[in-house]
Every structure is written in C-alpha cells, then in structure tokens.
Amino acid sequence: MDFNYSPEDEAFRSEFRAWLARNLADATPMREALADEAAGDWEARIRWHRKLNEGGWMAINWPKEYGGRGATLLQNIIYHDELERAGTCAPFTGFGISLLGPTLIHWGSEEQKRRFIPKILTAEEIWCQGYSEPNSGSDLASLQTRAVEDGDYFVVNGSKIWTSAAHHADWIFLLTRTDPEAPKHKGISYLLVDMKTPGITVRPLVQMTGARGFNQVFFEDVRVPRQNLVGQQNQGWQVAITTLMFERATGHDRGIVKQIHELVDLARRVPHNGASGWDDSSVRQQIASFALEAEAIKYTGYRQLTRQLKGLPPGPESSMLKLCSTELALRIAAFAMELLGPYSQMESDAPFAVDSGKWSQRMLAARGPTIYAGTNQIQHNIIGERVLGLPKG
C-alpha cells in the first residue's frame, strides 16, 4: 500500500484548503450526530450547501458534466479530511447529493436529469428517501406500499417510516410495489414524488435523543405522473440497489479518533477514587485499547481503499468497517457514562451537566448507525456467509 498522495492529489488538497480558508465564515460547525435541530440550523446548512456548490465543492464525486468535479476516491477522502481539519463538514441537506443525484445520473432519463439534477445542486429541491416501511426494513424487498397504474399516472397508497428530513423535503424517491403477483424483487418500481401532491401526510417521530429528524409518511391515493418513474416499471429493485450502494459508500464514522481524544480529556477531568480518572491505570488501559481498535479500523479502511484503487470488487472490509466502527463508538460512549457516574444522567440544559450533556447524547445517538445502512446483525450475516463460508442460519 502506498501511503503517499500524488502531486495532483496534493494540488487538489491545496486548492480546497485555500477555498475553505476564504469561505469558512459561512460554514456550519460540526454538530453531535442525531442532535435535535436548533432554530436556524436548517437554513444555515442550506446556506453552506449553496456556498460549497458555488465554489464547485458540493457534489465533488459527480461527473463534471453534471456539475461535479469527477473527484477520485482519494480526493473524496482528502475533501472530508480538509473539512474536518477546518472544523466543519459537508452539510446534511437531505439525500439529493449523496443518493438520488448519483442514482439519476446512472438510471434517469435525459429529461429527468435535466429536470432534477440542477435543483439538487442548488438545494432548491430537498429530497428524502422513502424505502423503509413499518413492516419492511432489513427485508426491504417485502415492501407493501402499492402503486397502481391509472392512465398516465400511478396511484400510490401506503406508508413509509424513519424518513429522515421528510419534514424539510420537497420530493421523495419512493419504492413501491407495482406487481403484487411477481416474486418480491421483481414487482417494485422507483418513483419520484412531489411532497406537495394531495394525499401525502408527514408525521414527526421523536428519537430517544429527543431529536425530531424522523418521520412517518402516509400516502393516500397520491397521483404520480408516469414520467416520474425511474428505470423500467417493475425493475425498480435494480435502481434501489444502486442507491443503496451509494448509501453504503458514504462510509463509517470519521469522528472516532476525535472522540477518543475527548475521552482522554474527560478522564483527566473527572474525579475518581480521590484522584482523576486518568490516574487509574485500568482507565488508561481501556482508552488505549479503544485507540488501538481505532487504528485497526483505519488500516482496514486503507486495505479496502487499496482494493478499490486497484479496481477489485469490494471485499469483506466494508461490512467489517461498519460493524467494528459503530460497535466501538457504542463502547466509547458507554465507557464515558461509567466515568461520569451519576453525572451521565444530566441532559444538555441541566446546570451540572458535564460538557453540556454531550456524552449522554452520544450514548443515545450511537445506536442509530448500528441500524441504518444495513443493521449490524445483517453485517454479521454477510461476514458469516460470504467471508467465513458458514451455513445460512
């Protein structure tokens, strides 16, 4: 593995670093994952999205002809490293940039690309992802939301759940069942639906962190023009898989090393048996073992990257990375709770909350990544069956 960057990559880094330095005043600060949105947060993210886009720094991995930079895998990594170094991130403004745009570039008709892609880039239209249903999550292809043909329209009935950002969204990309008689993967169609269409109701769901980023979305006789079908009718599963591939490629938690540094700092501050937590060798050993795991995860990531750079198909590393990094984040959060003792129970606005309650927020938020983009149990299955060759349970 070559750990050096090429001169082109270094030039890319310098260009972005210089751009960031000039425009950082508009950046949104790093926030705790799955924290509730404060007043003005969403608007600030949209402003940062637009600023990045004006500089050509929003959809960097999209091809140039669609408004991206055609950035390589390594440049993508440099991009996120530089954002992190500057204390910011690419803002979450729904799933247009990360999921729908790349899917449409692959599967959309020319008319669909012309109509939707420019407004994804400018954040004039915000997109949410209508995949999960109350009874279909890991087994996504069992979904039951129906779309029935009616002349030039599909009429949609059913409900989607855990729909992030649906309360901000102008559009939803929706998996629907168009042929209930076909085998489950063969009767699905992928539709683009205007959230203002009559018959759509969005109801907020509050997460255990207190955040209100989730929703359940109900569809009652919602009429969707046929021209909003992506790919072929009943062949939507292939389109859906493309979107899922982009979802899995969004990667594991980059913030883990930072969290370990913060844990060291916390251990130095908390009183523990008449001294500080850091004075207890078992505390230091535990934190050292987290740091070692984080290093192992980093090099596993490099191994995966090397495979990709050599054009090899994805190996088992992505399942291992997802599994190990999300479980590590959970254990770090749980250990912080132990260090804090009774103070761990204080929420952000409590007068004696340590670090404004961020550790308890992290503890609650750390569960989410073990669930989305393929639950950790599903990752165990993949590793067991495809890597270790174990029989199916």
Ligand X SMILES: Cc1cc2nc3c(=O)[nH]c(=O)nc-3n(C[C@H](O)[C@H](O)[C@H](O)COP(=O)(O)OP(=O)(O)OC[C@H]3O[C@@H](n4cnc5c(N)ncnc54)[C@H](O)[C@@H]3O)c2cc1C
Q: Which residues are catalytic?
A: 247
Q: Does 236 bind ligand X (CB under 6 A)?
A: no
CA distance 354 to 208: 20
CB of 126 to ligand X, least distance (A): 12
Interface residue with ligand X, options 12, 48, 57, 131 (CB under 6 A) = 131
Secondary structure class of 69 (helix, strand, coil): coil
Asked if 131 and 242 touch (Cβ cutoff 8 Å), the reply is: no
Q: Does 215 bind ligand X (CB under 6 A)?
A: no
Nearest to ligand X of 88, 216 (CB atom): 216
Nearest to ligand X of 240, 283 (CB atom): 240
CB of 129 to ligand X, least distance (A): 4
Interface residue with ligand X, options 187, 236, 301, 368 (CB under 6 A) = 368
CA distance 378 to 383: 9
CB of 58 to ligand X, least distance (A): 20
Q: Does 157 bind ligand X (CB under 6 A)?
A: no
Secondary structure class of 376 (helix, strand, coil): helix
Q: Does 76 bind ligand X (CB under 6 A)?
A: no
Widest distance between CA atoms in the chain: 77
Nearest to ligand X of 67, 137 (CB atom): 137
CB of 33 to ligand X, least distance (A): 9
Burial 225-260 (b: 16+ CB within 10 A, else e): eeebbbbebebbbebbebbbebbebebbbebbbebb
Which distant-in-sequence residues (6+ apart) come within 8 Å of 200 by Cβ? 193, 217, 218, 219, 220, 222
Residue (of 292, 369, 290) closest to 328 by Cα position = 290
Interface residue with ligand X, options 93, 129, 243, 286 (CB under 6 A) = 129
Nearest to ligand X of 202, 264 (CB atom): 202
Secondary structure class of 111 (helix, strand, coil): helix
Q: Does 6 bind ligand X (CB under 6 A)?
A: no
Interface residue with ligand X, options 79, 162, 237, 335 (CB under 6 A) = 162
- Positions touching ligand X (CB under 6 A) are 128-129, 131-132, 137-138, 162-164, 368, 371-372, 375, 377-378, 381
